[in-house]
Amino acid sequence: MLHLLWLIPAAPFAGFVVLALAGRRLSPRGVASVGIGSIAVSAVVSLLIGAAFLSAPPAGYAWTQALWTWIDVGRFRPQIAFYLDPLSLVMTVVVTFVSLLIHVYSAEFMAGDEGYGRFFAYMNLFVASMVVLLLADNLLLLYAGWEGVGLCSYLLIGFWYRDPVNGRAARKAFIVTRVGDTAMAVGLFLLFHELGTLQIQPLMQQAAAQWGAGSPYAVAAALLLLGGAVGKSAQLPLQTWLPDAMAGPTPTSALIHAATMVTAGVYLIARTHVLFALAPVAQHTVAVIGLVTLLMAGFSALTQHDIKRVLAYSTISQIGYMFLALGVGAWAAAIFHFMTHAFFKALLFLAAGIVIEALHDEHDMFRMGGLRRELPVAFWAFVIGGSSLAGLPLVTAGFYSKDLIVWSAWSAPGGSPLLWIGAVIGVLLTAMYTFRLIFLVFFGEAHSHVERRPGLRMTVPVLTLIALSVVGGFVDTPPGLGHVTLFTRFVQHALPAVPRAASGAGGLTETSSMLIAAAAFALGLWLAFELFLRRRRSAEALTATTAGRAIHALWASDWGMDWLYDRLFVRPVVWFARVNRRDVVDLPFLGAALLTRGAWAALSRSQTGRVRWYAAAVMTGTILLVAVVLFL
């Protein structure tokens, strides 16, 4: 069964090739069946492989399928090979399955769009690249998948390319992530130069053998890889592209900019966890970046008007949680949160798509309202997905994964009370912005008219994700609530185990941490209820004061990051380009061209067309030559 592993990336890639070559000639039905069918093959195969892996684990809980040697130059011999272990298996199953649901949803959501075939071609290419990224056996192949998903992200953000705003957002996403990718490429050069291989497992063993803890090489390599991760996962300081990326079609936002691609950074850090363990400084940086990002994005989410931008900031914030977990060394918790987040965030985006389409492309939450009865599916999707996102205790998946992270922020080896406090404040913020969204959109009085209701192909994926957002968390529960550790134990075959301490420093127990987090959730819910449903006026009064308005503007503009980058990078570059319109670097080349032109003009003047002139020139030349021979 495991031998079918190559089919998981190959099927979507074949789908992409068919759609790219013949997409215009196929009927919409044909396009949808190719697009969905290829992903379905991929999802079914990955589920079967998952079942086979669980029932009969290969030796060492890892299995490699080498297809062929990619490049063979000296010591550099990367292969096209796929590496299956619990970490990549979990990620692959979640990615292919969520992709399948989103593709089914897109078949109806995108119906009637003139770029129907193009859309499915890009989406299939994305899934193929993402799976290559996850299964890659060496960092070079991983990098190829990494760039592939970046390309698809760019293509899909700018999918409706006739609007220049979308093209701008796409370029911004591409360029900002490129900054991180460059750092990552330099990191790969460093690793290969120092350790002589890019194959991940030997690389990790060699790094552990060759470099001591805190070695400057390990720190540099870990920080460079972290640079790639923060770019792709939209963490501080490269998070500015994700909110603008919402210009793409909503299924794209659900798949690429919420559930899968943006968690590639989390995967990269988990995959190279040995390096980060060797570089405590870098690992601590990961935790701090995660915490700061999750708080900043949480505050920003509170002030957005666009429903998709709220969800975008929420995604940044939740990936901040994953980074926090990685940074304190709770590897399994980060992957657990990745899984539940993929479920409930995809659900929220798909439900947002239903709302947006029902109201004829309305994105502003303040022009919505009272949609509870009109769109029951979207309403329940938001209530359950939102509760999962905010961590409604006991019954939602998000509660279990986030609780594990919050507790780890204190108790794990790299944890500290300060990180824990930040994480709890994050829980409060999450509850607040989530329920602000729900109250604004679904309660209160209706401002607009529902024009279109979702059909079966949009409803079924949403219902499936609702179910997963609830039961997805029961695979791993804290000691006080059944103490199931299926997920953690499985993933810990690939990632180092964290001693799950019964109580951290300072006598805080896991149960009391959980109760405090639940209290934070309740407080956030109550604040949202008071400010955005019961007493809308008080929220308005709060933002009407001078200080309130300034803070609101600061948060709404993502803490002025765009403004800062505009001043810091964009304007100097534009200014320099304007000053340097006649490129200085070009001068030597232009000079050569000018010299040639001058010589041409002089020589062509000598060609008078008069035979006597030529004869005289021949004579003069002869005389000169003879003179040289005779007298010199």
Partner 1 sequence: MASVPLTDALLLAGILFVLGMAGLLARRNILLMLVSIEVMLNAAGFAFVAAGARWGQADGQAMFVFILTMAAAEVSVGLAIVLRLYRRYGQLDADLASGMKG
User: Which residues of the shown chain bind partner 1 in the complex (CB under 8 A)?
Assistant: 603-612, 615-616, 619
CA 329-127-291 angle, to 5 degrees, is 30
Cα(157)–Cα(312) distance, rounded to whole angstroms? 13
Cα(81)–Cα(66) distance, rounded to whole angstroms? 4
CB of 614 to partner 1, least distance (A): 11
Q: SS3 for 120?
A: helix
Q: Which residue is listed with tokens 């959730």? A: 521
Asked whether 173 and 234 are in contact (CB, 8 A), the reply is no
Asked whether 391 and 521 are in contact (CB, 8 A), the reply is yes
CB of 603 to partner 1, least distance (A): 7
Quick one: 68 or 631, whose CB is closer to partner 1?
631
CB of 601 to partner 1, least distance (A): 9
* Nearest residue to 260 (alpha-carbon basis) of 403, 102, 468: 102
Q: Which string of DSSP letters, residue by residue, matches 333-393?
A: HHHHHHHHHHHHHHHHHHHHHHHHHHTTS--BGGG----TTT-HHHHHHHHHHHHHHHT-T
CB of 606 to partner 1, least distance (A): 7
Quick one: 486 or 619, whose CB is closer to partner 1?
619
Angle between the 86-109 and 116-135 helix axes, to the nearest 10 degrees?
170
Quick one: 496 or 621, whose CB is closer to partner 1?
621
Using DSSP bridges, classify how beta strands 79-84 and 63-69 pair: parallel, antiparallel or unpaired: antiparallel
CB of 617 to partner 1, least distance (A): 11
Cα(226)–Cα(259) distance, rounded to whole angstroms? 20
Quick one: 55 or 604, whose CB is closer to partner 1?
604
Q: Which tokens is 370 given?
A: 């009272």
Quick one: 29 or 612, whose CB is closer to partner 1?
612
Quick one: 456 or 611, whose CB is closer to partner 1?
611
Q: Which string of DSSP letters, residue by residue, matches 245-269?
A: GGGS-HHHHHIIIIISGGGHHHHHH
CB of 158 to partner 1, least distance (A): 52
Q: Which tokens is 278 given?
A: 């060797």
Quick one: 55 or 606, whose CB is closer to partner 1?
606
Asked whether 58 and 86 are in contact (CB, 8 A), the reply is no
CB of 628 to partner 1, least distance (A): 19
CA 122-124-125 angle, to 5 degrees, is 65
Quick one: 553 or 615, whose CB is closer to partner 1?
615
Quick one: 54 or 625, whose CB is closer to partner 1?
625
Q: Which tokens is 441 given?
A: 């959109």
CB of 629 to partner 1, least distance (A): 17
**Residue 67 DSSP class:** E
Cα(564)–Cα(628) distance, rounded to whole angstroms? 73
CB of 624 to partner 1, least distance (A): 15
